[in-house]
Amino acid sequence: MKFFVDTADVKEIRELNDLGLLDGVTTNPSLVAKSGRSILEVTKEICDIVSGPVSAEVTALDYDGMMKEAAVLSKIADNICIKVPLTLDGLKACKALTSDGRKVNVTLCFSATQALLAAKAGATFISPFIGRIDDMGVNGMELIAEIRTIYDNYDFRTEILAASIRTVNHVKEAALIGADVATVPPATLKALVKHPLTDKGLDAFLADWAKTGQKIA
């Protein structure tokens, strides 16, 4: 499974990238607004840090507007992935952009039929929102499983990018089902390494080592 981090915080991105854990980055208008910086400036800096895809989202709702904004965003760096909403105009833009060799992330997916349309439009990534579906009292993982089955049935190359991930368990379940990518907040990505028995075992090893009075270096 690939790991993308869902943030526009350059400091967090740099730290995780230095750990060798990042395969890409996803941003959206809300995350860019939280950074307090220009979308072009912060996105360019992110693209300079990571070598993988960096999703930058259009804000226009009509096809022509999406294409104009995509042209501007595409010039930021070679690893830009244009993010479009799962609407008819968004799918039309997706088809045009991917036909031109651009990577496209189709976002705000909440049904398997939407994901099917995105794949038909040539999407590079489809972003089903697990957490928001859970909020409605439905298991978001069921959507990941449905999309996986449909994509495997027809050998679609669109990658399932599990989004709106809120817990370590979300990541585990998405991986078990076969999501290609998980995009997670920085804190969740760091939490994947934690386990109380790891900490307990490490404390015991270090205590025993201290009793020997030895040093390795």
Q: Catalytic site residues?
A: 83
What one-character DSSP code corresponds to residue 52? S
**Token pair of 176 as six digits:** 């078990």
Q: What is the C-alpha separation between 123 and 81, in angstroms, rounded?
A: 10
Start-to-end CA distance of the chain, whole Å, equals: 36
**Token pair of 204 as six digits:** 């015991």
The candidate with the shortest Cα–Cα distance to 85, out of 63, 101, 116, 112, is 63
The candidate with the shortest Cα–Cα distance to 179, out of 155, 160, 152, 166, is 160
User: Is residue 109 a contact partner of residue 115, using CB atoms and an 8 Å limit?
Assistant: yes
Q: What is the C-alpha separation between 139 and 130, in angstroms, rounded?
A: 8
Q: What is the C-alpha separation between 137 and 48, in angstroms, rounded?
A: 40
